[in-house]
Chain A
């Protein structure tokens, strides 16, 4: 069965669930939760079917490509993907299409077997309806045509799978979280149906985001998830989040900061449409790889750099990177399942997704990639520092999310798009696990979030504690947990990039920064674990005695996610670490045709690389080896690096262990008074980033707006009212003349007559004197008058 053609059902079913819950708000009660969960689980099943179908097609295509390769003799490069399309014959084109299963179909008349009619002649391209359609008037312009269309390929399939899986778990968890047991009496949150309506709408938007076949459809999802994030952060709209912000403020902040990113995203889109005449991902990538682009859109071109930087601004908004990361820590004002799903596992990775989707564009601009790498590494470091001294458990996790997103961008910045996505994938599981475990604690402690007021919960909530521990180990990067494989691979990739001659120092610095951030990560994560679960409790006796493990709907989910935090990394074990033959790098191998297309293109077209194997993106970004050649299958000291990074993480763990394991805060307090104090202050105030923005942008724009209003009132409108007043004043003056006194009328008449006479006596003569050349025949009056004057002058003589 063709499940790919049914992919539209996935967002549709979630939208319907959102609609039912939204309309039936009050009447549905607890049923609202079940509707959303059922819809979400359905999308998971469909996603799984689609995933396997995509895998099947990809494998089939691989076999076909291998077979075709074997029978081919006329390929000068030995790699079907690296020949210019125009120079290929039909058979070669078919091979390329087969290998890059979801590459654009240039030959709709000869579709591949899996291209059913529902999919509009392109693999995985599901055309729903024409959305925007403006034909051009100038031949030099592009038609603006945007289809409501979805695109399914390996990248989408992966995202579909883990979003629907983590999403289903979070939805199930939320059914437990949003109700409270008060001594046996179950209380449902009054906004229960509203909550599940928003969640379902979020899922629909997220699916549209990753399924969109062009920028604009992706933008629907992009803004849709932003909207749901806004609604869910401000879910407790009548509550205060902290001293400074209400929940509604936090939501508004998130939306507006994201809008700043959207500003960049939109301009980037416009620039790309201007240059390439399309907004469809397939067409854009096609025209770029064919090389038939206007000036400035080639390798290192000024426009491609500008466009990718602008798009990256959008990504920094959604994915909480410098300079737009400030909204994410405040986004914790939302209910915890929301933090887990939206602000950790799915939505915030949208920026990473977009960059991976556009890897060809980004690989074309080394400048942008360097910027992405720097921003990623800096964000990872800045957020990790900020995470070290926080007291709110969700706040710690929020900064850790920002930090981990920084790692993902670091991976992308060195051209390892697949590894960035791999970290997105593993992070989704262990970060969801962390947040949900934190939520379980918060739920049990009746909305207490301060880790300084916790401690010793291990015995009370063993399942939660184990889940939290598993995820903490994973995020700290200890073998064999999931985070180890992804984070270590990122650092390895940065290290690979540093092997090139050109920017060795640059990438080495980034590597060092990343490694140090890994240390901080291990420290602050274990700090939060020890403070929450081990040692002596810092709660009151009475409160402590009431703490109990969460219901099965929550703890069950935690256990599943804890297991995932252990195992999901195993899908991409690098051969440099444990040689497993065909089982090495499964994840990367699966994504390669999509995420490494850019690297391949650059390697072949820019560097003239002709080895059959695809080089690492990081290798391409690092440019050249010391001997002047690009190195294809570089295998650095991967094992050594892995051991090194584990050692680094162990140091972080050790420090946390010494300071916090027995729940005694004094040791840490002593340390804080030591020379480490400045570091602690920076961490506690999160680099005063918020204050800086408040002073500069918030207060600034407020003041500017006040000035605008003043100008509007007193200058622009002042002129209008002023002209009215002038008319009025003139009217009042002129009215004086109509006062009914005959004497005044007589006077005016007299003055008028005098002026008239004076005019004829002097005015006309001076006029004729000065305008000799002026001869307008059609003025008999003037002729007569001038004649009279002349006559008079003559008679005088």
Chain B
């Protein structure tokens, strides 16, 4: 059974058929049904998935036989003369995000239940098509196919914001699409560059052998940083990174996000914040780091500092917002700054923290957007000055929003803490490798500013303070104080459909916060896969200093073992 293909295309195709056949009133039920079926398929895929990280099999890609770690892999030649194929497959990294996507897809339908009242068919079709784009982005392992899905994500969202958004929607949707498109174009150029430079040095022949293919699996084995010149990888790395950084979004490429988030309908915001931003982080971990480890190391100081700026800058910009949704949008900038910081700390703690932070952000920020949507649906305004004292007549809402706020603040025991904690802890652990290699002047120079990792950790940890400031200000302005606005007095508390969504996310937040071990176990192979190329490059640099890679799969229990490895 072509499981992944089914997962990817079921939403869009079913959506198209349903939109043509279903009565308008039934469309949302049908859409929900499709999302649920998709989730079931994803769960089936996850259950038949080997999470251990030891999965390796041989596969044929064009004329090449290669080792691959992708499971549920499907391969069809598409345009073989250009090296383009339809190849989808999942590894631990993509599987985690696919599950998140499937879950949030259902929430996306539920939160639109009563808020979307006109042109329902189109809306749910676009929502389903968006799901296809996202699933494809996570599951494609041919970079040309990846590019197709990457662009496919834009179109439904363009219409969703443009049609069902709030006041300033046209400006927002144009800005979003053009901004993202600008990044994608550079990415396409880089991909073509990669196609032409996709090769490895053959020591027997003494030449570089090129493989003309867009297959990521081949690239992984040919292009791992040791082809061409050192600087040659700067261009494709940067081009890809800029495209992904726009999606993340990383300061200073973030300004599309507050507009798009604020103007989008609730479902749009939820999917945008919950999953779409993650495609950026996912793509950095998937493509930038393993394919260009040396360029990644060279640019890490810059990116790290931009991340720290994003963390503090986003938080500070959030503090002075007057619109609830805009505040949450800026909090995304801050939270996603942690993600890029974690990725470019090149440390397993930070890397796993970054992946976890993306999951957490998908839960807590989606929850906050849901909450904002529920308020907006009741009052048709998002201005702080209109609210106050809502805890009096909406206690359930207040309680559930509190959990989401706390998860976002990073309260230990809830999910948000673990991501931030691991990232911050990891970003500091970068230091010993650097310090001990410091006498190697050239290498230290290549690492540049990363020597100031402690300053990075210090700056990023400041974000923890600011995070509490803006979220508590928001919560207080909406829920605390006197209920003195007449318009708010008649508001009714949440209906089961509404609190069900928030309660689900709250339970998920608590469950991840207390029992994250399965997620850590699932992430460990992904972390290792992403970091090993970097580790290899670093190892070349510090070989004579006695640093060795830990043997994959072996956990170093005590010092003796560690010393034995060193020898």
Residues of A within 8 A of B (CB): 22, 25, 129-144, 148, 216, 219-220, 222-224, 227, 230, 234, 237-238, 246, 248-249, 252, 255-256, 259-260, 262-263, 266-267, 269-271, 273-274, 701-702, 704-706, 708-709, 712, 716-717, 720, 724
Ordered by A's residue number, 24 sampled pairs between the chains whose C-beta atoms are within 8 Å are A133-B520, A134-B348, A135-B555, A137-B348, A137-B528, A137-B535, A139-B547, A139-B562, A141-B432, A220-B413, A224-B411, A230-B472, A234-B476, A237-B391, A238-B389, A248-B481, A267-B457, A270-B424, A270-B429, A706-B320, A708-B317, A709-B320, A716-B252, A716-B255
Chain A residues, CB < 8 A from B556: 135-136, 139, 143
B320 touches A705 (CB 8 A): yes
A137 touches B316 (CB 8 A): no
A262 touches B464 (CB 8 A): yes
CB < 8 Å neighbour of A25 from B395, B433, B566:
B395
Chain A residues, CB < 8 A from B547: 138-140
Within the complex, what minimum Cβ distance (angstroms) separates A11 from chain B?
Answer: 11
B532 touches A263 (CB 8 A): no
CA distance in complex: A140, B547 (Å):
7
CA distance in complex: A795, B481 (Å):
97
The count of residues in chain B whose C-beta lies closer than 8 Å to any C-beta of chain A is 78
B566 touches A141 (CB 8 A): no
Chain A residues, CB < 8 A from B433: 138, 140-141
> Assuming A144-B348, A705-B316, is B465 touching A263 (CB within 8 A)?
yes
B349 touches A227 (CB 8 A): no
B528, closest chain A residue (CB): A137
Does B468 make an interface contact (CB < 8 A)? yes
CA distance in complex: A252, B547 (Å):
47
CB < 8 Å neighbour of A266 from B178, B461, B550:
B461
A130 touches B517 (CB 8 A): yes
A144 touches B412 (CB 8 A): no
CB < 8 Å neighbour of A270 from B179, B316, B413, B457:
B457
B550 touches A705 (CB 8 A): no
B418 touches A256 (CB 8 A): no
Within the complex, what minimum Cβ distance (angstroms) separates A678 from chain B?
Answer: 35
Question: Residue-by-residue, is B511-555 near A (CB-CB < 8 Å gives 1, otherwise 0)?
Answer: 000111100110010011001100100100000000111100001
A249, closest chain B residue (CB): B476
A263 touches B464 (CB 8 A): yes
Does B469 make an interface contact (CB < 8 A)? yes
Chain A residues, CB < 8 A from B548: 139
> Assuming A134-B524, A237-B481, A267-B457, is B516 touching A274 (CB within 8 A)?
no
Chain A residues, CB < 8 A from B465: 256, 259-260, 262-263
Within the complex, what minimum Cβ distance (angstroms) separates B328 from chain A?
Answer: 15
Within the complex, what minimum Cβ distance (angstroms) separates A512 from chain B?
Answer: 37
CA distance in complex: A139, B348 (Å):
12
CB < 8 Å neighbour of A708 from B316, B479, B521:
B316
Chain B residues, CB < 8 A from A234: 476, 480
By Cβ-Cβ distance, the 5 closest A-B pairs, closest first, are: A248-B480, A717-B255, A237-B480, A705-B316, A708-B316
B548, closest chain A residue (CB): A139
Residues of B within 8 A of A (CB): 175, 178-179, 251-252, 254-256, 313, 316-317, 319-321, 347-349, 352, 389, 391-392, 395, 399, 406, 411-413, 417-418, 421-422, 424-426, 428-429, 431-433, 436, 457-458, 461-462, 464-465, 468-469, 472-473, 476, 479-483, 514-517, 520-521, 524, 527-528, 531-532, 535, 538, 547-550, 555-556, 562, 565-566
CA distance in complex: A259, B469 (Å):
9
CB < 8 Å neighbour of B429 from A129, A238, A274:
A274
Chain B residues, CB < 8 A from A259: 464-465, 468-469
B412 touches A709 (CB 8 A): no
A263 touches B428 (CB 8 A): no
CA distance in complex: A141, B469 (Å):
34
In the complex, besides A709-B321, A716-B251, 8 extra interface pairs with C-beta distance below 8 angstroms are A133-B517, A133-B521, A139-B562, A140-B433, A140-B436, A148-B514, A238-B483, A706-B320
Chain A residues, CB < 8 A from B417: 223
Chain A residues, CB < 8 A from B481: 237-238, 246, 248
> Assuming A219-B412, A238-B392, is B429 touching A132 (CB within 8 A)?
no
A255 touches B472 (CB 8 A): yes
CA distance in complex: A704, B466 (Å):
12
CB < 8 Å neighbour of B320 from A130, A142, A270, A702:
A702
Within the complex, what minimum Cβ distance (angstroms) separates B31 from chain A?
Answer: 32
B179 touches A237 (CB 8 A): no
CA distance in complex: A14, B424 (Å):
31
> Assuming A220-B412, A238-B480, A274-B428, is B516 touching A131 (CB within 8 A)?
yes
B542, closest chain A residue (CB): A140
CA distance in complex: A249, B475 (Å):
11
Within the complex, what minimum Cβ distance (angstroms) separates B229 from chain A?
Answer: 21
B532 touches A137 (CB 8 A): yes
CA distance in complex: A269, B458 (Å):
12
> Assuming A224-B413, A259-B468, A274-B428, is B313 touching A137 (CB within 8 A)?
no
Chain B residues, CB < 8 A from A132: 418, 421-422, 516, 520
> Assuming A144-B425, A238-B389, A246-B481, is B348 touching A136 (CB within 8 A)?
yes
A720 touches B179 (CB 8 A): yes
Within the complex, what minimum Cβ distance (angstroms) separates A173 from chain B?
Answer: 26
> Assuming A134-B422, A220-B412, A255-B472, is B317 touching A705 (CB within 8 A)?
yes
B553, closest chain A residue (CB): A135
Chain A residues, CB < 8 A from B426: 144
> Assuming A238-B482, A255-B472, A273-B429, is B392 touching A720 (CB within 8 A)?
no
Within the complex, what minimum Cβ distance (angstroms) separates B511 from chain A?
Answer: 13
Chain B residues, CB < 8 A from A708: 313, 316-317, 320
> Assuming A135-B348, A724-B178, is B468 touching A709 (CB within 8 A)?
no
Chain B residues, CB < 8 A from A148: 514
CA distance in complex: A135, B531 (Å):
12
> Assuming A135-B348, A252-B472, A274-B429, is B480 touching A246 (CB within 8 A)?
yes
Within the complex, what minimum Cβ distance (angstroms) separates B480 from chain A?
Answer: 4
CB < 8 Å neighbour of B517 from A129, A140, A224, A255:
A129
Chain A residues, CB < 8 A from B431: 274
B555, closest chain A residue (CB): A135
Within the complex, what minimum Cβ distance (angstroms) separates B550 from chain A?
Answer: 5
CB < 8 Å neighbour of A142 from B429, B461, B532, B566:
B429
Within the complex, what minimum Cβ distance (angstroms) separates B445 from chain A?
Answer: 21
CA distance in complex: A375, B424 (Å):
28
Chain B residues, CB < 8 A from A238: 389, 391-392, 480-483
CA distance in complex: A219, B516 (Å):
16
> Assuming A137-B535, A138-B549, A248-B480, is B555 touching A267 (CB within 8 A)?
no
CA distance in complex: A748, B399 (Å):
70
CB < 8 Å neighbour of A141 from B256, B347, B473, B528:
B347
B461 touches A263 (CB 8 A): yes
> Assuming A129-B515, A134-B422, A237-B391, is B468 touching A223 (CB within 8 A)?
no
Chain A residues, CB < 8 A from B482: 238
B420, closest chain A residue (CB): A266
CB < 8 Å neighbour of A274 from B432, B473, B549:
B432
CA distance in complex: A148, B418 (Å):
13
A252 touches B476 (CB 8 A): yes
B411 touches A223 (CB 8 A): yes
Chain B residues, CB < 8 A from A248: 476, 480-481
B427, closest chain A residue (CB): A270
A137 touches B549 (CB 8 A): yes
CA distance in complex: A785, B220 (Å):
46
Chain B residues, CB < 8 A from A134: 348-349, 352, 422, 520, 524, 527
B399, closest chain A residue (CB): A22
